[in-house]
Amino acid sequence: MNLPQNEWAEQLKNDANAVILDVRTEDEWNEGFIPKAIFNDIYKGQSFIYRLEELDKSKNYYVYCKAGGRSGQACSIMNQMGFENTYNLEGGFMNWEGEVVVEG
């Protein structure tokens, strides 16, 4: 399900069962990420799938990338794998107005 920024952030804030998933590249991740996000680069192919398989399918996943395309694709893959609740951040990280963590 695609959600605009404000709905994604509001729903996330009120969701005790939420997991944030960042599917960007490592270089993009290093430029900053949404707090508490789990990193899993969708371009890693089979290792991306293996890492998804390790996740709890009963959680609600809030997925984002840079612009919303890869995260939409990730949500589709996750839904096919049996994840019931995936939420794609429309407009992605480049339009994110919330808190950002930059390590290092």
Give the span between the Cα atoms of 66 and 89, in whole angstroms. 9
Say if CB 65 and CB 24 are below 8 A apart: yes
Q: Is-catalytic flag, 75?
A: no
Catalytic residue among 20, 65, 78, 89: 65
Strands 37-39 and 85-89: unpaired
Q: Which active-site residues does the annotation give?
A: 65
